Amino acid sequence: MAAVLQVHPIEIPEAAGFDDPLAALDSIAKGRGDYTLLHSGPAAGFSVLGWWPLVRLLIDAHGVARVNAPAGIELPKLPIDPLRALEQCTEHFSFESPHPLIGWLGFVSYDIGRHIEWLPSVATDDVRWPLVCFTLFRQYVIFDRAGGKTSAFCVSTGDVPQTTYAFPPQRARSEALPFVPGRLLEVPSPERYEDAVRRVREYIAAGDIYQANVSRRWGIRTLVAPHVLFRRLCEFSPATYSACMRINDSAEREPGGGVRHVLSASPELFLAVENGRAVTRPIKGTRPRDISDEGRDAALREALLDSAKDAAELTMIVDLLRNDLGRVSKFGTVRVTEPRVIEQHPTVWHTAATIASELREDAGLAEVLAALCPGGSITGAPKIRAMQIIEELEAHRRGLYCGNIGVIGAPNPAGGCPNLALNIAIRTIQMDGDMAYVHAGAGIVADSDPAQEYEETLHKAAAMLRTLGIDP
């Protein structure tokens, strides 16, 4: 039997100072509870801040699922398969959402792919990032960036007086404290990465794959509060699909476990579903920007647009995603609605495409995610073989990097996949206690130059490293 939840509008006290997402985050983050902010950055869109968890599903790195909820709420019995567990948990809790961003906020890690396809076990899993973590919060604040409006809601097991819910007092900006640069403890070797690029080219020459996205990792110890780092990340790399979250999973971890944080400034939409219509928007092709020289910046933009290599790389990924969407879509509905466009970002130029389809009515959340996860733009083609090669060549498991962050809405009354919006978790800092991990990768094809691909990873990591006080 489903657990029925209620969503109530509530008033925001004027003194709370919740008119700006980052200011609100400052207030919430200084408490001890978990929270999630999905932030649209400078874009004319919506941001949502959720805090005070009501129900949380966490599936740890070993695949063990746990649901935390107040006493008296009936909990679902979950299957072993992580995506099926996510589907059944989100379906178990019934509620009507007054806004698409009021729902389950959280992530699916890149390593969910190990539970979808067979992969070797080679890379070191030293951080042991959870496979899945989604939370229904007691309180949500929606920031309408375009309309200049802010609204708040509470989620409960019944009618709850508004006085039950409290907003923390507005706090002074944390940037008043001096910024302390992080300490770089793990430095990726250029030689190792360039060797990995050469190995991918050998696999391509042997006919194993057409392309693989290979990444590398930096490890930085930092004393700066994560929400302060997130504000810096938003300044260095404003993005449409940004996110900041706190996850206390100490109860689910080995002795010594503790609090994790996610700081993401992703420009890439992995999957949006609205009333059965699915959209994915892969990014492939990168050039650095030079904002100090307008002429050179424009030349770099044109070089990307004119690059046959980058165009072919994007075409391969578009074909892969058309096939992935086709597995869960109505026959004949998969369309490339935007073949190739250029996007401007603070540190790089990107090219992207858009693919859309109509999902089958019987395709549920687990089936849809299993068809698309992990995203083709950050694996390669063919996907499964590319993932196997990634496991062989990358020194560390990716964890959340190249996974997906976002929102899953209320259960679909007609069945099938609920509304959702998930990013590709690139430009993402994973924090485990005081350690921050930064990953960046590049798509490798037959004519890739190892030194140039190494430089591309530096361009992609630049904003995250600067956020942590590291000179890239």
Mean pLDDT lowest among 156-165, 179-188, 278-287, 343-352: 156-165
Residue 200 has pLDDT above 80, yes or no: yes
pLDDT classification of 157: cutoffs 50, 70, 90: confident
Whether the bond between 79 and the residue before it is cis, its omega within 30 degrees of 0, is no
Q: Whole-number mean pLDDT of the chain?
A: 91
- pLDDT attached to residue 120: 93
pLDDT classification of 170: cutoffs 50, 70, 90: low
Average pLDDT of span 17-27: 88
Residue 255 has pLDDT above 50, yes or no: no
Residue 335 has pLDDT above 90, yes or no: yes
Using alpha carbons, list the distances in angstroms from residue 113 to 218, 304, 398.
23, 31, 11
Average pLDDT of span 381-402: 97
Average pLDDT of span 279-307: 86
Residue 172 has pLDDT above 70, yes or no: no
Residue 256 has pLDDT above 50, yes or no: no
pLDDT classification of 163: cutoffs 50, 70, 90: very low
pLDDT classification of 42: cutoffs 50, 70, 90: low
- pLDDT attached to residue 457: 95
SS3 sequence, the chain? CCEECEEEEECCCHHHCCCCHHHHHHHHHCCCCCEEEEECCCCCCEEEEEEEEEEEEEECCCCCEEEECCCCCCCCCCCCCHHHHHHHHHHHEECCCCCCCCCEEEEECHHHHHHCCCCCCCCECCCCCCCEEEEEEEEEEEEECCCCEEEEEEEECCCCCHHHCCCCCCCCCHHHCCCCCCEEEECCCHHHHHHHHHHHHHHHHCCCCCEEEEEEEEEEECCCCHHHHHHHHHHHCCCCEEEEEEEECHHHCCCCCCEEEEEEEECCEEEEEECCEEEECCEEEEEECCCCCHHHHHHHHHHHHHCHHHHHHHHHHHHHHHHHHHCCECCCCCEEEEEEEEEECCCEEEEEEEEEEEECCCCCHHHHHHHHCCCHHHCEECHHHHHHHHHHHCCECCCCCCCEEEEECCCCCCCCCCCEEEECCCCEEEEECCEEEEEEEEEECCCCCHHHHHHHHHHHHHHHHHHCCCCC
* Residue 13 one-letter amino acid: P
Residue 277 has pLDDT above 90, yes or no: yes
Residue 161 has pLDDT above 60, yes or no: no
Domains (range + CATH), the chain: 3-467 (3.60.120.10)
Residue 41 has pLDDT above 80, yes or no: no
- pLDDT attached to residue 109: 98
- pLDDT attached to residue 160: 56
Nearest-Å Rg of the Cα atoms of the chain is 21
Closest-CA residue to 390 (of 439, 431, 437): 439
Residues 63, 64, 65, 67, Cα dihedral to 10°: -150
- pLDDT attached to residue 145: 80
Q: Quick one: what percent of the chain has pLDDT higher than 70?
A: 94
Using alpha carbons, list the distances in angstroms from residue 341 to 32, 94, 302.
43, 40, 12
Average pLDDT of span 90-115: 95
How many alpha carbons lie under 13 Å from residue 17 in its C-beta half-sphere?
Answer: 13
In angstroms, the first-to-last Cα distance of the chain is: 53
Which residues participate in catalysis according to the annotation?
A: 268, 284
Q: Quick one: what percent of the chain has pLDDT higher than 90?
A: 70
Place of tokens 């030689």: 191
Q: What are phi and psi of 329, to 5 degrees?
A: -110, 160
- pLDDT attached to residue 458: 93
Residue 391 has pLDDT above 50, yes or no: yes
- pLDDT attached to residue 18: 84
- pLDDT attached to residue 252: 55
C-beta atoms surrounding 258 within 10 Å: 12
Residue 307 has pLDDT above 50, yes or no: yes
